[in-house]
């Protein structure tokens, strides 16, 4: 009887772990297309993850993590992106209306990767429909930050948390 109980507990633990992994994998599902260039080197951003952000100016807000490496299961994906643990990354904080209030440029080809930028990144066609966020995040021209040059033109579609 004791052996059966242990097997039952183990099976339950495996089931819970599987459900958590599935939930985390679903949490990180998203699409990113377009270009992200740092000092002339293009980065491939493959993952889009949206996490809640504390309200900004009294409005609901989100942080969008666009990354080269899969952020599934990462406890603090925005922090890990900032320090290069997710490869090339761009971290954008937006209000529910689509107003960008923070951008973290984390391109590995930049000497000062992980810097904050406000202004050069623009957004168009931003939408929140149902449980999905989408939009185009782009720049009219390349920007320079203390000798580092970067440019982005990315279309994003990701599930809301």
Q: Give strand ranges (E) for the chain.
A: 30-38, 41-42, 47-56, 59-67, 89-95, 100-106, 115-116, 122-129, 132-138, 143-145, 148-159
13 pLDDT higher than 90 = no
pLDDT at res. 5: 45
DSSP state of 42: E
Prediction pTM value: 0.81
The 10 Å Cβ neighbour count of residue 97 is 11
> What are the pLDDT digits (tens) for 76-114?
999 999 999 999 999 999 999 999 999 999 999 999 999
Domain positions in the chain are: 2-159
pLDDT at res. 41: 98
> What are the pLDDT digits (tens) for 25-54?
344 469 999 999 999 999 999 999 999 999
Confidence of residue 118 (pLDDT cuts 50, 70, 90): confident
The 10 Å Cβ neighbour count of residue 130 is 8
Q: What is the mean pLDDT of residues 18-29?
A: 40
Residues 124, 155: Cα–Cα separation, whole Å: 9
More confident residue, 90 or 20: 90
Query: Does the CA dihedral 127-128-133-139 come out positive or negative?
Result: positive
Q: If you write DSSP's letter for every residue of 94-117 in order, what string do you get?
A: EETT--EEEEEEE-TTSTTTTEE-
Contacts of 123 (CB under 8 A, 6+ apart): 94, 98, 99, 100, 135, 136, 137, 138
């Amino acid at each position: 009887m004791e052996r059966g109980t242990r097997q039952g507990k183990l099976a339950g633990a495996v089931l819970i772990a599987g459900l958590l992994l599935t939930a985390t994998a679903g949490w990180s599902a998203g699409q990113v297309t377009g270009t992200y260039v740092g000092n002339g080197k293009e980065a491939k951003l493959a993952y889009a993850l949206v996490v809640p952000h504390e309200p900004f100016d009294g409005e609901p807000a989100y942080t969008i993590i666009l990354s080269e490496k899969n952020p599934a299961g990462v406890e603090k994906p925005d922090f890990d992106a900032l320090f290069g643990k997710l490869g090339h990354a761009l971290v954008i904080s937006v209000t529910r209306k689509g107003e960008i209030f923070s951008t973290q440029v984390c391109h590995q080809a930049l000497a000062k990767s992980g810097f904050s930028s406000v202004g050069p990144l623009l957004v168009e066609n931003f939408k929140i429909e149902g449980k999905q966020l989408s939009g185009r995040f782009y720049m009219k021209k390349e920007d320079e930050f203390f000798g580092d040059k970067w440019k982005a033109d990315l279309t994003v579609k990701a599930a809301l948390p």
